[in-house]
Amino acid sequence: MADDTIFRKILHGEIPCDKVYSDEFCLAFRDIAPQAPIHVLVIPRRPIESLRSAVESDQTLLGHLLLVAARVARQEGLNDWRTVINSGTGAGQTVFHLHVHVIGGRPLAWPPG
């Protein structure tokens, strides 16, 4: 459940993070197991389990998360980057609190995984 995750603990200051951006709607911090030189996670402060559980009223928040992801990428000096949202275990989601991966700083192959 999205309200009992490591990200909730990070949001509540119970676990430290390497913060790169914060506002009233979201928090962005460096991934502890980066897949590239730059790997930042952008998470909403309000728990949403995954993109598949988002609802119409989440539209503004979801757009904000993507704009923050782009802002963070530019802030990190990236001209090219990958933005990833995994939805469900089969897609690689391991923390069930919606999060946007911002990955870059090296050439990224396609298809991933």
Q: How is the chain split into domains, by residue range?
A: 6-104
So what's the architecture of 6-104 in CATH? 2-Layer Sandwich (3.30)
The region, left, alpha or beta by phi > 0 then psi within -120 to 50, assigned to residue 106 is beta
- Two tokens at 90? 């089969």
Give catalytic status of residue 99 as yes or no: yes
- Two tokens at 88? 């469900």
> How many CA atoms lie within 13 Å of 79's alpha carbon, on the beta-carbon side?
1
Beta-carbon count within 10 A of 7 CB: 24
Q: Report the run of H or E that residue 73 belongs to, with start and end.
A: helix 59-75
Residue-wise pLDDT for 38-83, tens only, equals: 999 999 999 999 999 999 999 999 999 999 999 999 999 999 999 9
Mean model confidence pLDDT for the chain: 95
- The one catalytic residue among 39, 64, 97, 99: 99
| pLDDT > 90 in the chain, percent | 93
* Whether the predicted pLDDT of 34 surpasses 60: yes
Report the distance separating Cα 79 and Cα 94, nearest Å. 28
